[in-house]
A = this chain, B = another copy of it.
């Protein structure tokens, strides 16, 4: 079989295309792609397959794939579901490299359809032929005129080639956003809809697309992800190559997730986990379609700001204030102009307010050369990474648009390293004229600032990869005696992986708990240790604050009596004697297995924080300490770890180290681990490390 990545090229950049079920009628699924290929002037060979005709839409028609003069790179199947398997087999026999299946009527319709889809997947696997769909809208590549799709949005107009790739599980969503992108004047490189994903999924399409030099940004839509490894690899590649991914992942809500599970065959996974993966890999998760388009538009030039300082220029105070508010929300820095520069601007326009937002008042519009000098001074002295100018409907007048554009060009000449952006309410023709001069143009100021925040976000994410120096060592594999672990057993296993627990002793039921406690040092805690008892406190299996040997002996007897009474079935390993550690900040950590992403490390503040506020965060395992630091800082109650109410700062470094070690262990044993709970994890004052007071390790059943 071909290498997976390169194997998508016949599908996405074919030299020859067969259209099976080609139709003369351009309104039909079998006619539309032929019309598009013809009108867009596709340079390669096009072979309609239709046994009933001599020609189709002016192309010579063939009776079957078998009789084509050459083996096509891709075959487009515009046949009903009932004829699909037969047609696909013929393609496989002819060694066609890739096939696109338009027809619906497969897994989405029930068991019978699912069986047919499985058969298609089997043909793909056995023949090495790659299959897109079924139930998809196909693909296109605007630059080569390759329109392997029947999407109706191309009825009126083709798209222009450009830096934006679109990958969508949903054909309708893909069509809609391509339509919006075209309206916005954005050029599209590749457009891929994956439908039922019996072979090629969004992850693999993404991986291919981020390797294409003509793509700067990817607009992606998915309801779930099938191939976790390829997906994460694609995200990694994108980040390393500085390609922005702007993702619409639906199924955030309970009702949405339920609808996903009935709509798609992909496992949805937990949405909180998706969210974490996007953060971890620097993917921008769009909340709305409008936002997705806005952010993709801002990224389309592949230029990112060096930092997050934003200079706002306005002719009306109100708009400037509104934009400053939005900037705070987007995490941008609207720091004031230096005092001396403010004085300089004051001298040019006495009634202006030159702090930042720099409000030149409407007066500036009456003297454009003055406005040019004013903005130039603002840019030269302000040191902003991004410039946003607010112009309203001023540029809407075609005559004024030209002089204003020249004034802005003059003001910003030689400021190429900066992101230059404007808001205006004008015709698309006028907007394009500003865009051609290097300005990002938005109608809405809030949308602009949000997109600038996204640019700063991508810059940080790209840079973080460049700076990363840590290599992740592989963790030891679990060696298993049984399938459940007592607390003591779990701790022993994790300790071998490098996770440090307080020194403690396991005392068998017939041994002297008093003597053992003395070696640990008082006060101590006594806990039952049994692989059968997960919730020790509930049956009185824990006694804290034990002060001397006698108390320890008495406590041991008490616990054993209680356990024997309440859980006579439980295998008793003995009692754990551990030092009584208090203080620090109570947190929790653990590992959960996500059906899509496998082992995810969870972290949160303990007690009411997790119970009331669900203040937890996740990361795909494994990850390094730097990523662990980012993870820890995502918690809403993070200030607790920095020290509140006079408490000293907690040992965040030690916590990060522990979380990274835990993640490496979870990754190395992903096939075996169901879950790990470390609760509580006391984060002690700086330099004193973390104290893990309890551990629960559950193995996978399957």
Contact = CB atoms under 8 A, between A and B. Distances in A.
Interface of A: 104-105, 108-109, 152-153, 168-173, 175-176, 179-180, 221, 223, 248, 250-256, 258-260, 262-264, 287-290, 315-322, 324-329, 334, 350-351, 353, 355-357, 359, 361-362, 392-393, 425, 444-447, 608, 611-613, 636-637, 639-640, 644-645
Nearest to A362: B172
Contacts of A152: 393
A360 to B, nearest CB: 12
Given A173-B319, A287-B446, A289-B446, 5 more contacts: A173-B322, A175-B392, A255-B328, A259-B355, A263-B320
A250 B320 CA distance: 10
A178 B535 CA distance: 63
Shortest Cβ-Cβ A-B pairs, 10 listed = A253-B328, A170-B318, A172-B316, A288-B446, A263-B317, A256-B325, A256-B324, A250-B321, A252-B325, A255-B324
A328 B254 contact: yes
A340 to B, nearest CB: 18
Contacts of A393: 152-153, 175-176, 179
Contacts of A444: 288-290
A360 B579 CA distance: 64
A450 to B, nearest CB: 9
Nearest to A288: B446
A288 B423 CA distance: 14
Contacts of A392: 172, 175-176
B318 A169 contact: yes
A252 B329 CA distance: 9
Given A256-B321, A317-B264, A355-B259, A612 B445 contact: no
A397 to B, nearest CB: 8
A328 B259 contact: no
A108 B317 CA distance: 11
Contact of A250 (B180, B287, B325): B325
Contacts of A260: 321
Nearest to A320: B259
A159 to B, nearest CB: 14
B255 A318 contact: no
Given A172-B318, A254-B328, A351-B109, A608 B640 contact: yes
A108 B316 CA distance: 12
Nearest to A638: B612
A211 to B, nearest CB: 26
A254 B613 CA distance: 26
A325 B251 contact: yes
Contacts of A361: 104
Given A287-B446, A608-B640, A644-B611, A173 B316 contact: yes
A263 B109 contact: no
A48 to B, nearest CB: 24
Contacts of A173: 316, 318-319, 322
B359 A322 contact: no
22 contacts: A104-B351, A109-B350, A169-B318, A170-B316, A170-B318, A170-B319, A172-B318, A172-B319, A173-B322, A176-B393, A179-B393, A248-B322, A250-B322, A251-B325, A256-B322, A256-B325, A259-B321, A259-B357, A263-B359, A287-B446, A289-B444, A608-B640
Nearest to A286: B446
B253 A327 contact: yes
Contacts of A324: 253, 255-256, 259
A106 to B, nearest CB: 11
A290 B644 contact: no
